[in-house]
């Protein structure tokens, strides 16, 4: 009887161990290193950015406005991660002069990158540095195909930053990124993160969340009510929650969303960035 009881206990234990572990996903516009930011200049904020990622145990982070120098500093602070992406101006890894990436960080001990790429949000998405429609600047989307090392589950993460001025560019970027998601990921689970520079109810948002879209807004899928402010843009480092909701995590319908939050931590009134990071605890669907 003791042996039988032990066997049952071990069976339950192994079942619990083998169950899917939630994945902590974050989207974080970390703000480019602008000396005019004064007290909010990147050297004064970088440890705060690293602390937020570390404390919330993010497994995957889509960052926006990240210069290569910032990516290097985050990698030094967070050595358990590696990142993938290409610079928006020339598609290189070492742009000169330095400029922005929409890179994706992931824990390399947990995930293996099987594939990845960057495309430009323009009518010529394979042309490095191309600027689309009425956009003020070149904009990109970066994607990775990841395999969970423990159980072999494969999924895709896309990360992007829509233009801040061009209405047409944002709308066309939404259409383009959905076409690319369907073509690249097929029927695999998808996570889409980014700064979309538009609020709920806008035309680009409505395209991304259309009934025929491959993704849904994670805030409305969360089993636990949303935590923190609704707004994610702080309007130039002001009190959290006083701006607009423009940063999102979208997921494919079969992904389970356990929790969702906009993280409003501050240090003596100083914020890690002019955007709040958005966090979601996800569980991939069983095959």
Domains of the chain: 21-283 (3.60.10.10)
Inform me whether the pLDDT recorded for 10 exceeds 50: no
Q: Which range, of 16-25, 30-39, 62-71, 129-138, averages the lowest pLDDT?
A: 16-25
pLDDT value of residue 15: 42
Question: Is the four-CA dihedral 167, 172, 174, 175 of positive or negative sign?
Answer: positive
Instruction: Tell whether the model's pLDDT for residue 1 goes beyond 70.
Output: no
The answer to whether residue 12 scores a pLDDT higher than 60 is: no
What is the reported pLDDT for 5? 46
* Edge-to-edge order in the sheet of strand 60-64: 81-84, 104-107, 60-64, 23-29, 278-283, 256-262
pLDDT score, position 11: 44
Place of tokens 């339950």: 12
Residue 4 pLDDT level (bands cut at 50, 70, 90): low
d(CA 85, CA 144): 9
pTM flag (> 0.75): yes
Is the pLDDT assigned to residue 3 strictly greater than 60? no
Q: Which of 4-18, 105-119, 151-165, 265-279 has the lowest mean pLDDT?
A: 4-18
Spatial distance between the Cα atoms of 216 and 172, rounded to a whole number of angstroms: 18
Distance CA 218, CA 99 (A): 30
Question: pLDDT at position 241, please?
Answer: 74
- The answer, yes or no, to whether residue 34 has pLDDT greater than 50, is yes
Q: What pLDDT band is residue 240 in, cutting at 50, 70 and 90?
A: confident
Q: Check residue 164 and give its pLDDT.
A: 98
* pLDDT beyond 60 at 120: yes
Segment 89-96 shows an average pLDDT of 98
Three-state SS string over the chain comes to CHHHHHHHHHHHHHHHHHCCCCEEEEEEECCCCCHHHHHHCHHHHHHHHHHHHHHCCCCEEEEECEEHHHHHHHHHHCCCEEEECCECCCCCCCCCCCCEECCEEEECCCEEEEEEEEEECCCCCCCCCCCCCCCCCCCEEEEEEEEECCCCCEEEEEEEECCCCCHHHHHHHHHHHHHHHHHHHCCCCEEEEEECCCCCCCHHHHHHCCCCCCCEEHHHCECCCCECCCCCECCCCCCCCCCCCCEEEEECCCCEEEEEEECCCCECCECCCCECCEEEEEECCCC
User: What pLDDT score does 32 carry?
Assistant: 98
pLDDT above 50 (res 14): no
Which pLDDT score, from 0 to 100, does residue 239 have?
84
- Average pLDDT of the residues in 22-51: 98
């Amino acid at each position: 009887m003791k042996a039988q009881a032990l066997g049952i206990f071990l069976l339950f234990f192994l079942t619990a161990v083998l169950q899917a572990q939630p994945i902590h996903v974050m989207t974080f516009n970390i703000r480019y290193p602008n000396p005019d930011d004064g007290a909010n200049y990147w050297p004064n904020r970088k440890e705060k950015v690293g602390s937020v990622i570390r404390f919330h145990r993010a497994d995957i982070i889509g960052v926006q406005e990240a210069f290569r120098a910032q990516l290097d500093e985050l990698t030094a602070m967070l050595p358990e991660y590696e990142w993938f992406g290409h610079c928006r101006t020339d598609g290189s890894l070492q742009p000169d002069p330095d400029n922005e990436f929409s890179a994706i960080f992931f824990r390399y001990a947990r995930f293996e990158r099987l594939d990845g790429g960057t495309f430009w949000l323009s009518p010529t998405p394979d042309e490095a540095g191309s600027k689309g429609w009425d956009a003020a600047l070149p904009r990109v989307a970066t994607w990775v195909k990841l395999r969970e090392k423990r159980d072999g589950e494969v999924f895709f993460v896309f990360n992007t930053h829509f233009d801040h001025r061009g209405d047409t560019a944002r709308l066309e970027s939404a259409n383009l990124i959905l076409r690319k998601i369907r073509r690249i990921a097929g029927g695999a689970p998808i996570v889409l993160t980014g700064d979309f520079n538009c609020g709920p109810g806008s035309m680009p948002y409505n395209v991304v969340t259309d009934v025929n879209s491959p993704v849904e807004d994670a805030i409305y899928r969360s089993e636990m009510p949303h935590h923190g402010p609704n707004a994610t843009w702080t309007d130039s480092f002001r009190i959290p929650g006083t701006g607009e909701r423009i940063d999102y995590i979208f997921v494919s319908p079969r992904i389970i969303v356990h929790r969702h939050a906009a993280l409003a931590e501050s240090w003596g009134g100083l914020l890690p960035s002019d955007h709040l990071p958005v966090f979601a605890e996800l569980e991939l669907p069983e095959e």
